């Protein structure tokens, strides 16, 4: 089984047809999703960031984002890692140690999950993940 972490930029690109990476994100998700050997993992924090991103994009996009998150939570094989105090603490530690980087706290949560789950590839356009030795798939 191959685990792939899904970051916010991939989710945004899937939802928003105007996003420059929309077609690439859909193709990538379709290609990887066709193999039962691939499993997708994301974080509750990513879903919060996603909903926040679309919160001021108007009612239609807000509804699209909410429906997408609902599908992920109820009808998707995607594993959603819940936010826990231990995960927050580990991500906060990484955030503090990488003072020279521009990592967001949500990025740090994803990086910690990747480390804990031994994930090496990330569906994201965020190059910060590459700085931690991860393969960025949406570029």
CATH label of the domain that carries residue 132: 3.40.50.1010
Model's pTM, two decimal places? 0.95
How many independent structural domains does the chain possess?
1
Per the CB < 8 A criterion, the answer to whether 95 and 105 are in contact is yes
**Alpha-helix residue ranges (DSSP H) falling in 1-139:** 8-15, 22-33, 44-54, 59-74, 85-97, 105-117, 128-131
Give the pLDDT confidence of 87-119 residue by residue, as tens digits: 999 999 999 999 999 999 999 999 999 999 999
Q: How far apart are the C-alpha atoms of 78 and 11, rounded to whole Å?
A: 12
Boundaries of domain holding 65: 2-136
Cα torsion 30, 49, 132, 1 to 10°: value is -40
Give the pLDDT confidence of 42-91 residue by residue, as tens digits: 999 999 999 999 999 999 999 999 999 999 999 888 999 999 999 999 99
String of DSSP letters for 82-110: PP-HHHHHHHHHHHHHTTTS---HHHHHH
Q: How far apart are the C-alpha atoms of 134 and 35, rounded to whole Å?
A: 21
């Amino acid at each position: 089984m191959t685990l792939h972490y899904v970051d916010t930029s991939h989710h945004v690109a899937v939802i928003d047809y105007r996003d420059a990476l929309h077609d690439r994100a859909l193709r990538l998700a379709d290609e990887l999703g066709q193999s039962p050997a691939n499993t997708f993992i994301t974080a509750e924090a990513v879903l919060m960031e996603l909903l926040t991103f679309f919160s001021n994009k108007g009612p239609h996009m807000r509804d699209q984002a909410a429906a997408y998150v609902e599908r992920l939570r109820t009808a998707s094989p995607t594993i959603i890692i819940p936010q826990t105090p231990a995960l927050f603490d580990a991500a906060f530690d990484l955030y503090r140690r990488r003072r020279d980087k521009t990592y967001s706290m949500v990025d740090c949560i994803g990086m910690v999950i990747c480390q804990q789950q031994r994930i090496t590839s990330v569906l994201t356009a965020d190059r910060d993940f590459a700085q931690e030795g991860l393969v960025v798939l949406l570029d």
